[in-house]
Chains A and B, each alone.
Chain A
Amino acid sequence: MRIACIYVPQLALQAALRAAPERRGTPVAVIGKARRRSEAVVAANDKARRGGVRLGMTAEQARALCPEVFVVRESPADVAAAEAALADVGFAFAPCIETESARVFLDVSDMNGWFCSGQRDTSPWAQSDSIARNVKAASSGGSSGSSGSSGTSRVAGNAGRHHIERSIAQAIAAQATRVGLGVRVAIASRKSVARLATRAREIAIVAAGDEGPFLAPLPARILGPDLSIEEAETLERWGIGTLGELAALPAAEVGLRLGPAGSRLVHLARGTDDETFMPRWPQETLEESVAFDYAIVELEPLAFVLRGLVDRVLARLDLRALACAGLTLRLKLESGAFDVRSVPVAAPTREPTTLLQLLRLDVARRPPEAGVVEVLLGADPARARAAQLDFLRPAGPAPDRLAATIARLAALVGPENLGSPRTEDTWREEAMSVTAYRHKPANTVGVPSTVTNEATPFSSPTLAIRRFRPAEEVEVMIGPDGPAALRGRDTTARILVAAGPYRMSGEWWRSQQAETADASFSRDYWDVHASDGALYRLHQDRRTGRWFLDGYYD
């Protein structure tokens, strides 16, 4: 197995720069909780260091030495988002990965076919059309290296693999750059060796069997977090300066003196430590966040921040060749409460303008009750739905544009006034409901249900009725054959012909009180031809005796 380790040096600093990309290229120092002091500089970039800023300084000391330094407080949310973005870099190359603080491990054993020598594009997905060709080429190259009998061919095979793995490492580093992270990448046969190698070089390829020679010249302090202060002091007393010197000691004797940790240090230095690779699958949602030093109360500044978050979310989704199927916006208010909104997306999309528009409309429709001090944006990943064009059928609206249009319409008329109309399972004539609109091409529409009475074009056209919503109460004069005249808000007419009554009642299990939407009903319906030329449908409520104009045939 070949394991790649991706390491983000100075994670706190990179997370801060990722949240404030405009600060790149300027002196930046991150303050956080240090060991001895309450708050001190925990990370600084090269420009800040050149200005005299050192770890452990207070913010005031840093500003005194380097007045132009931008001091930013360490944000756990930014760090978590950066780590999640790092994980997405791993998922861009492998279906499952192992994560630890500032590091990601992934298995790259099967990726040689994608990165043959001579590859120029750093994105593996951009090579999808040539995967088959590359795999073929790699397999032929691999066979010459592994099964060749001559030493020359073995050397050539190893060199080829080394070159391919370097390409993989460079591709990983390039993908990390896309999500705003500068990383170190090492590929080795053991997880612990890969981890140590990232501490030594920007890109390191350690061939199988070459672990010892690779690690030997490295200083012992590179063991870093694996080495306690006491162990470091002991090794210094022993005169051990490099990993090679440590590896030369008998592991059992070191273990006798330093305990089990000492034995492990020797195995680490030899490159023989067997640390298990424990990968995991990607999380369902991904989240980006940004915290402010002061509360934001207006929409425009908030929209500016949302734009950055949307871009970061989409960059991460793009790494995994996924699109956004829904957004969850969590606004932390000054009061400490969270304003949580779920923003549905009609179709998975990677269009930043569409997503931003949906967010803006949602915030504009229901502004937060107080100033916002932190914004967390979650996205539901989904496979992007490609629009399938058809030679024989017209293309419908583009899914992403449809989503944005429906969102804008919802903001204009209200979400309850928009969608696909539905008939209700009731005898109440005016009943209707609305469901969310989903564009369905004609060939995917299901078989019509039994209640559907679909007419084909050019079948006998049917007479439509226009509803008054709500039904208009009218005065009706009764003659010997039924209604003889009616008077309403806009209508006063004699009735020339009255067809009816058609008695209709239902929903007896509901309240028997006054006729309301949730009460039972009992009505006598009439179709009447009035002297104003219109053909009305009206009904009399049998309980109250009141008359209502339901609409007219048209």
Chain B
Amino acid sequence: MLDGPLAGLVVPASRLAIEPPRKRLSTGLPNLDARLGGGWPAAALSEITGRRSAGRTSVLYSALAAALGAGHAAALVDAPAALDPRAAQTAGVVLDRLLWVHAGTARTALHAAELLVAAGGWGLVALDLGERPAHAPTAAWQRLRNAAARQRTVVLVASPWRVAGTAASAAVIMKDHRPRFTRGPGAVPLLIGLDTRAVIDRGVNGSGDHDVSQSTPADGLHFAAHAK
């Protein structure tokens, strides 16, 4: 407790107003929604990371499909042009309503995302930084986060490793993936899907709990391979 002239100016932590629960945008994946407290935090920047074939792109497409399905405007800023429109369509993305920007480099992608978010009106702006995202200054990520907060937009960054640092309100690591094959009638292996786990690396309220060990069996995700 503070005494003297500062006593009336500082509010004790126990009396601080409770922050209202942040609105959420569904990830399109019930398991992940449950883990994130309802979905990606609205008006904030979130990250999905994971190595090759860990499932981060599938999560990204699910988020796009869910956002478009909820009536939001959505954009995908794609640094490496990795988008496969058939796969996205199969995941539920209405291509007619998706704005796709092939940025070329991660730096340009960040700039493009900033332009988009600043324009306002977007429900979700997804940013795919590709395989080797170049280092971007922390200030750039903070600027993007502030723009997202101002325009009430969800910004979702997909990259092999975490790049946004403290600017991210939520971060999900895709790991422990395992492809699932089955033997076809002619004893030929057939890819039927991918099992993976989504681990919350940054807290639900953006507090940064960093507790990877809290992953539970409920964090398991399965993505089915569509028919060839």
Chain A residues with CB under 8 Å of B55's CB are 463, 554
Chain A residues with CB under 8 Å of B108's CB are 412-413
Select which of B53, B120, B179, B189 is within 8 A of A401 by beta carbon: B120
- In the complex, the answer to whether B96 meets A440 with C-beta atoms within 8 Å is yes
Q: Does B51 sit within 8 A of A, measured CB to CB?
A: yes
- In the complex, the answer to whether A499 meets B191 with C-beta atoms within 8 Å is yes
- In the complex, the answer to whether B102 meets A413 with C-beta atoms within 8 Å is yes
- In the complex, the answer to whether B85 meets A422 with C-beta atoms within 8 Å is yes
Bound CA span A422–B95, Å: 7
- In the complex, the answer to whether A463 meets B225 with C-beta atoms within 8 Å is yes
Q: Does B69 sit within 8 A of A, measured CB to CB?
A: yes
Stretch at the interface among B6-14, B135-143, B216-224: B216-224
Chain B residue with the shortest CB-CB distance to A423 = B85
B56-79 at interface with A (beta carbon < 8 Å): 56-58, 60-62, 65-66, 68-73
Residues of B contacting A: mostly: mixed
Q: Does A464 sit within 8 A of B, measured CB to CB?
A: yes
Chain B residues with CB under 8 Å of A421's CB are 83, 85, 88, 95, 98, 100
Q: Does A516 sit within 8 A of B, measured CB to CB?
A: no
Q: How many whole Å from B178's CB to the nearest CB in chain A?
A: 9
- In the complex, the answer to whether B223 meets A462 with C-beta atoms within 8 Å is yes
- In the complex, the answer to whether A465 meets B87 with C-beta atoms within 8 Å is yes
Q: Does B149 sit within 8 A of A, measured CB to CB?
A: no
Bound CA span A392–B9, Å: 42
Bound CA span A397–B122, Å: 6
Chain A residues with CB under 8 Å of B122's CB are 396-397
Select which of A393, A409, A448, A461 is within 8 A of B224 by beta carbon: A461
Select which of B51, B92, B104, B118 is within 8 A of A459 by beta carbon: B92
Q: Does B159 sit within 8 A of A, measured CB to CB?
A: no
- In the complex, the answer to whether B81 meets A467 with C-beta atoms within 8 Å is yes
Q: Does B15 sit within 8 A of A, measured CB to CB?
A: no
Q: How many whole Å from A452's CB to the nearest CB in chain B?
A: 6
- In the complex, the answer to whether B115 meets A409 with C-beta atoms within 8 Å is yes
Q: How many whole Å from A324's CB to the nearest CB in chain B?
A: 19
Q: Does B210 sit within 8 A of A, measured CB to CB?
A: no
Bound CA span A489–B179, Å: 23
- In the complex, the answer to whether A401 meets B58 with C-beta atoms within 8 Å is no
Q: Does B188 sit within 8 A of A, measured CB to CB?
A: yes
Would A413 and B92 be within 8 Å (CB), given that A462-B225, A464-B58 are in contact? no
Would A397 and B84 be within 8 Å (CB), given that A461-B221, A553-B53 are in contact? no
Select which of B65, B73, B189 is within 8 A of A457 by beta carbon: B65
Q: How many whole Å from B49's CB to the nearest CB in chain A?
A: 12
Proximity bits, A513-551, B CB within 8 Å = 1, else 0: 000000000000101010011110000000000000001
Q: Does B169 sit within 8 A of A, measured CB to CB?
A: no
Bound CA span A534–B219, Å: 20
- In the complex, the answer to whether B121 meets A398 with C-beta atoms within 8 Å is yes
Would A457 and B69 be within 8 Å (CB), given that A421-B98, A440-B96 are in contact? yes
- In the complex, the answer to whether B120 meets A397 with C-beta atoms within 8 Å is yes
A428-456 at interface with B (beta carbon < 8 Å): 429-430, 432, 434, 437, 439-443, 445-446, 448, 452-456
- In the complex, the answer to whether B71 meets A442 with C-beta atoms within 8 Å is yes
Q: How many whole Å from B56's CB to the nearest CB in chain A?
A: 6
| 16 A–B contacts, CB within 8 A, in A order | A397-B122, A401-B120, A412-B108, A420-B99, A421-B83, A421-B100, A430-B84, A432-B83, A460-B224, A461-B29, A461-B221, A461-B222, A463-B58, A465-B84, A467-B81, A554-B53
What 17 additional pairs, Cβ within 8 angstroms, besides A394-B72, A554-B55?
Answer: A409-B115, A409-B116, A420-B97, A429-B86, A439-B97, A456-B69, A457-B66, A461-B58, A461-B221, A464-B91, A465-B57, A466-B82, A469-B80, A497-B181, A499-B181, A529-B181, A554-B56
